[in-house]
Copies of this chain bind each other. A is one copy, B any other.
Amino acid sequence: MAIDRKQLIIEAATKSFSLFGFKATTMDQVAKIANVGKGTIYTFFKNKEELFDEIISSLISEMKRAADEAMDSTLSFHEKVHRGLYQILEFRLKHQLTIKLFQEEKEMGTPAVMEVMIKLEDAILGYLKEKIIAAIDKGEIQECNPEVTAFIMLKLYVALIFDWEKRNEPLEKEEIAKLFEQYIFKGLSNR
């Protein structure tokens, strides 16, 4: 069997998107890195966006896998959510592609990137929502709106991991878990 051209293209595109972002990656460049004629790309992908989408879909799967691996059925719900969310958000910090896209979204607002980031957020929210519904069923947590709860959990995590360190010393993983427990699971009240 000859070399898998589709795979070469995907790898080349991933490398280039990671290095230069979506907008600054040209199809000529991808073709050159993949050692492939430009036309070949278009036999596998309708256009640049579809190539991008396929890469992001893989990324989402990878994230889900990482989150699942970080969990453990013996853990309490809140430990599970903490580890899963932390894993997902760590992903953003560690993987070149997500870093670059995150930056491109904020700094240039490239439409294709914005779209994909929404898809990514939806995937995380959907994943969280499932876990929350399961936890309610098992009686691990109180009745609550799973959609809003997933949303609040994600926002809280993003705030603690990304927003907080824009102006303060970064919080340790343990501190974040503790804060998450204190606010979402225990509550601040004295009553």
Among B139, B140, B148, B163, contact of A155 (Cβ-Cβ < 8 Å): B163
Chain B hits for A182, CB < 8 A: 142, 144
Among B78, B156, B163, B187, contact of A185 (Cβ-Cβ < 8 Å): B187
CB distance from A177 to the nearest CB of B (A): 13
Chain B hits for A155, CB < 8 A: 155-156, 159, 163
* CA distance in complex: A78, B140 (Å): 26
CB contact under 8 A between A151 and B159, given known A185-B187, A185-B189, A189-B78: yes
Among B142, B148, B159, contact of A152 (Cβ-Cβ < 8 Å): B159
Q: How large is the interface on A (under 10, 10 to 19, 20 to 34, 35 or more residues)?
A: 20 to 34
Asked if A141 lies at the interface with its beta carbon under 8 angstroms from chain B, I say yes
Asked if A1 lies at the interface with its beta carbon under 8 angstroms from chain B, I say no
B190 with A187: CB separation less than 8 A: no
Chain B hits for A20, CB < 8 A: none
Asked if A46 lies at the interface with its beta carbon under 8 angstroms from chain B, I say no
A-side residues, CB < 8 A to B, are 78, 139-142, 144, 147-149, 151-152, 155-156, 159-160, 163-164, 168, 171, 179, 182-190
Q: Can you report 18 A-B residue pairs in the complex whose CB atoms are below 8 A from each other?
A: A139-B190, A141-B188, A141-B190, A142-B182, A142-B189, A148-B179, A149-B188, A151-B159, A152-B159, A152-B160, A152-B179, A155-B159, A155-B163, A159-B159, A183-B183, A183-B187, A184-B188, A185-B188
